[in-house]
Structure 1
């Protein structure tokens, strides 16, 4: 953890992807491969013994007194009560809410943090936390150790994670993997656009719209994930 003047002006991801300027990257990138490898090893080692888990996404900007925060607490609590570990990005907002709900229900609360160009820390409700430098390593951990994704209202980061999950399901890189959108008022316009624009113009199949399940009920979200797990076990 770095704070104040010790926070660097750029991130590891930015330096890895930036090809402008001096040719130092020609000499540094081979060594970065070892750092990337070490992040995979650390992540796999830290998370290997998790029970079945569900990843919860959502905005880091959600205030604690908002309905979305309360929904996040209820989601984390409902998942923990049926035995799922709850994995989030470990930050504030909805992530904190889901971790809080899991911890208050005596569940396993996991936070997978990421280096960003501003001060940050894992929230106080994480009891297993891993910090990553590279987004793609962190995303691999979200998928590898999850039985499904639940997305609460969020911004670009949430949309990035949502559509990556949908792409993995659509291309059958992962199977029996539910993607649930919590908050019908927030998500229905997006689902309508996917149906009336993407599917209608043939950019996706009509059946792809059904990869997203929209609900306002945390218990229903848990039932969807349990049913998918039972289907996977019986397959």
Structure 2
């Protein structure tokens, strides 16, 4: 059982229930020494991060508890879970290399850290904390995944189209999930962030002044943050742990592709060190379907990763749709569609895959949020 707030801990201590098996996550245990000491044997209690004064730590260890301390020399807090865009772009005023996002990427690439067991543990704990918080965020929501290439420029028709799709899905009540990066992913998150078409049109006009993240990520991110501030000017900021019901979109990026900066238009960001966990998490949580816009190698990988469970499904329940957008792209330039239809022949999967020419054709192929949730 995880205890994530001091109120939860107070209630548990007041109930006289056993502490064995509890996980105290990221709590300030200052002043809790006497109350914990009253419990005698603390074997099986695990303290994960947080603030643990030395006398409390000595008590816990002496009574059999296990303590995983906070990490002082890593650029991330492995216990924190999800991020807001402002968390990852803290320090941008000094240039993108000074942000938490860029520093974390550099830390993850350090050759000395790749085989260091301590740092491997930090990354694993971090990604597990993200997964735990992400599960809580999406619980009860109808999630539609949007996949697409990172190279789509902000001043292009493809970008505007992806933004329109994200806006329409969020207005329908779906939670829009993307890979959290630039290009089509950013466009979909921007569309979901905007509450009306007029706001979206103005945001598209302003964002187009810096079309891509190369060669200057700082200018790219700075422009986006200015647009975000304009779009959300009337909305008070909300902590990540209260966003579940109100979030319109989320991004699930990875430091594995650290050269692709995260976009700032997600309501919340679940950023991973492990790309394998990130990919699986994004696809499996898209319970209302996956929409695939134009893309290259990374997008093709995601398509076939999404196809595998569809292929092996028994067909006893309706399968979430997989919708590819762009007939010419997916039949000629990147001929994935012929392979999908060949694989699906004679299987329930054949009813779940679709190829359309326009994003406007996507909504009718997806279940309603009430049905999917």
TM-score (norm 2): 0.50
Deviation at 1:84, TM superposition (A): 0.8
Q: Find out whether 1:217 has 2:347 as its counterpart.
A: no
Secondary structure of the residue aligned to 2:146 is strand
Secondary structure of the residue aligned to 1:188 is helix
C-alpha distance in 1 between matches for 2:159 and 2:121: 42
Q: Conserved in 1, the CA contact under 8 Å of 2:189 and 2:250? A: yes
Query: Structure 1, unaligned stretches of length 5 or more?
Result: 17-23
Q: Conserved in 2, the CA contact under 8 Å of 1:3 and 1:119? A: no
Q: Conserved in 2, the CA contact under 8 Å of 1:169 and 1:175? A: no
1:163 to 304, 313, 328: 304
Q: After superposition, what is the alpha-carbon deviation per residue over 1:64-98, rounded to whole angstroms, capped at 9, x for unaligned?
A: 12222122012112212211111111111000111
Q: After superposition, what is the alpha-carbon deviation per residue over 1:183-225, rounded to whole angstroms, capped at 9, x for unaligned?
A: 1221123245416xx83xxxx3524565431112333211111
- 1:210/1:11 Cα in 2 relative to 1: closer, same or farther (>3 Å)? farther
- 1:97/1:50 Cα in 2 relative to 1: closer, same or farther (>3 Å)? farther
Bigger-Rg structure (1/2): 2
- 1:216/1:122 Cα in 2 relative to 1: closer, same or farther (>3 Å)? same
C-alpha distance in 1 between matches for 2:264 and 2:125: 31
Once the two structures are overlaid, the 10-residue window that deviates more, 112-121 or 1-10, is 1-10
Q: Conserved in 2, the CA contact under 8 Å of 1:52 and 1:145? A: no
C-alpha distance in 2 between matches for 1:101 and 1:28: 37
- 1:96/1:49 Cα in 2 relative to 1: closer, same or farther (>3 Å)? same
Q: After superposition, what is the alpha-carbon deviation per residue over 1:127-168, rounded to whole angstroms, capped at 9, x for unaligned?
A: 111211112222233134321100101111111111100111
User: What is the total number of aligned residue pairs between the two structures?
Assistant: 216
Q: Conserved in 2, the CA contact under 8 Å of 1:180 and 1:215? A: yes
Deviation at 1:124, TM superposition (A): 2.5
Q: Conserved in 2, the CA contact under 8 Å of 1:80 and 1:102? A: yes
Once the two structures are overlaid, the 10-residue window that deviates more, 206-215 or 49-58, is 206-215
Query: Structure 2, unaligned stretches of length 5 or more?
Result: 1-87, 89-95, 197-246
Q: Conserved in 1, the CA contact under 8 Å of 2:123 and 2:273? A: no
2:326 to 183, 193, 202: 183
Aligned counterpart, 1:8: 106
- Within 5 Å, give how 1:50-129 maps onto structure 2: 51-105=141-195, 108-116=248-256, 118-129=258-269
Q: Find out whether 1:226 has 2:371 as its counterpart.
A: no
Once the two structures are overlaid, the 10-residue window that deviates more, 143-152 or 208-217, is 208-217
Secondary structure of the residue aligned to 2:264 is coil
1:44 to 135, 140, 144: 135
Deviation at 1:30, TM superposition (A): 7.0
Secondary structure of the residue aligned to 1:61 is coil
Aligned counterpart, 1:148: 289
- 1:179/1:27 Cα in 2 relative to 1: closer, same or farther (>3 Å)? same
Q: Conserved in 2, the CA contact under 8 Å of 1:153 and 1:183? A: yes
TM-score (norm 1): 0.75
